[in-house]
Structure 1
Amino acid sequence: MVVTGPDGKSVTVTVADTCPGCAPGSVDLTPTAFQQLASLDVGRLHGISWTLV
């Protein structure tokens, strides 16, 4: 899956499982993948998009 952040940066990740506590359409990224899009201090990113590849 390719996840694109609100500023256009993107990261390719592997889907490992579901996120039962997440809202529909949300993605729970590893810290390493999240840091490719924003600082961990942000906590949650809004305005992301994802595409299955």
Structure 2
Amino acid sequence: MIAPGTRTGQYTLGTDTLVTDSNGQSRISMEDFAVAMLDEAETPKHLQQAFTVGYQ
């Protein structure tokens, strides 16, 4: 789930496995999702690969 929230600057990247928290929820704020996308654009770590992002 991507929803409005707080920018924490902390998130976890994954590859082809969904990133979930201890309750099995996959979630991230829109603000942290935007930061993750910009970080990937500025410093690519997943060239021609899918990746996931969320809180753990």
Structure (1/2) with the larger helix percentage = 2
Same fold (TM over 0.5): no
The normalised TM-score by structure 1 is 0.30
